[in-house]
């Protein structure tokens, strides 16, 4: 089996992480959720009261931070400076602020280098916003995954319920639409479908159907 790189990009709530995890497990590949890195940085910046528009202070902080993504049974554990923050980085506060942090080109540069290092040996399924366009430009398989805003908000709502995070569908729809806007309109590596990416609309697909679709495409490349 060829240890290929699979890049999965798309807006918030399209099902990237759920589906990427299943694909990785089926292929015996490592799953890497790059959003977790931006979230971890945001988590620490909020904790340290760093002004999120201050790119220079953020950079100083990031250069003095250890972010470790540790593959685990149900995906990936996230550690920042040794503290396990897998759940903490999913809070409403981090979610509401992460796009502002992720818009800084200098912060992206540091995290992208880390992501490229993690993916260098292949056998990887990486999800994010700019994986196909920037991080892994030579990935053998590139997927751009999306779904209607309504469906994505509904999924996040169910997800949040499971995690015990309070939310309403309306609020989530607003939050998702705003994050999509910030991620797509920023100057540094905006969320955009790569020319050589395959578009996968998951609005009417089950998790299994979407995962199978990608597995089939992956098998053609291996």
Which residues lie near ligand C5P (CB under 6 A)? 12, 34-35, 38-39, 98-99, 102, 128-131, 179, 183
Least Å distance between CB 25 and ligand C5P?
19
Q: What's the closest the beta carbon of residue 72 comes to ligand C5P, in angstroms?
A: 17
- State the nearest-atom distance from the C-beta of 55 to ligand C5P, in Å: 14
Question: Judged by CB, which is closer to ligand C5P: 1, or 163?
Answer: 163
Q: Are 176 and 153 in contact (CB under 8 A)?
A: yes
In 3D space, the residue among 37, 17, 9, 45 whose CA is nearest the CA of residue 184 turns out to be 9
Q: Which is nearer to ligand C5P, 175 or 213 (CB)?
A: 175
* CB 113, min distance to ligand C5P, A: 13
Length of the chain: 222
**Helix, strand, coil: what percent of the chain each, to 5?**
50, 15, 30
Residue nearer to ligand C5P on the CB measure, 104 or 218 = 104
> Of 185 and 222, which CB lies nearer to ligand C5P in the complex structure?
185
Q: What are the DSSP calls for 85-119, one per residue?
A: -TTGGGSHHHHHHHHHHHT-HHHHHHHHHHHHHHH
């Amino acid at each position: 089996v060829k240890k290929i790189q699979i890049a999965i990009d798309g807006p918030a709530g399209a099902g990237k992480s759920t589906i990427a995890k299943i694909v990785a497990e089926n292929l015996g590949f490592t799953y890497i959720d790059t959003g977790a890195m931006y979230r971890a940085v945001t988590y620490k910046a909020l904790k340290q009261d760093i002004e999120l528009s201050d790119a220079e202070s953020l950079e100083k902080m990031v250069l003095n931070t250890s972010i470790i993504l540790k593959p685990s049974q149900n995906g990936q554990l996230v550690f920042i400076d040794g503290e396990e923050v897998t759940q903490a980085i999913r809070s409403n506060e981090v979610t509401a602020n992460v796009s502002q942090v992720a818009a800084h080109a200098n912060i992206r540069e540091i995290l992208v280098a880390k992501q490229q290092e993690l993916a260098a040996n292949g056998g990887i399924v990486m999800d994010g916003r700019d994986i196909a366009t920037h991080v892994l430009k030579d990935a053998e398989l590139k997927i751009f995954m999306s779904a209607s805003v309504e469906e994505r908000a509904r999924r996040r709502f169910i997800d949040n319920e499971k995690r015990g995070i309070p939310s309403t569908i309306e609020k989530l729809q607003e939050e998702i639409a705003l994050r999509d806007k910030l991620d797509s309109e920023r100057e540094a590596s905006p969320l955009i479908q790569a020319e050589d990416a395959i578009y996968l609309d998951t609005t009417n697909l089950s998790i299994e159907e979407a995962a199978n679709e990608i597995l089939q495409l992956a098998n053609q490349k291996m």
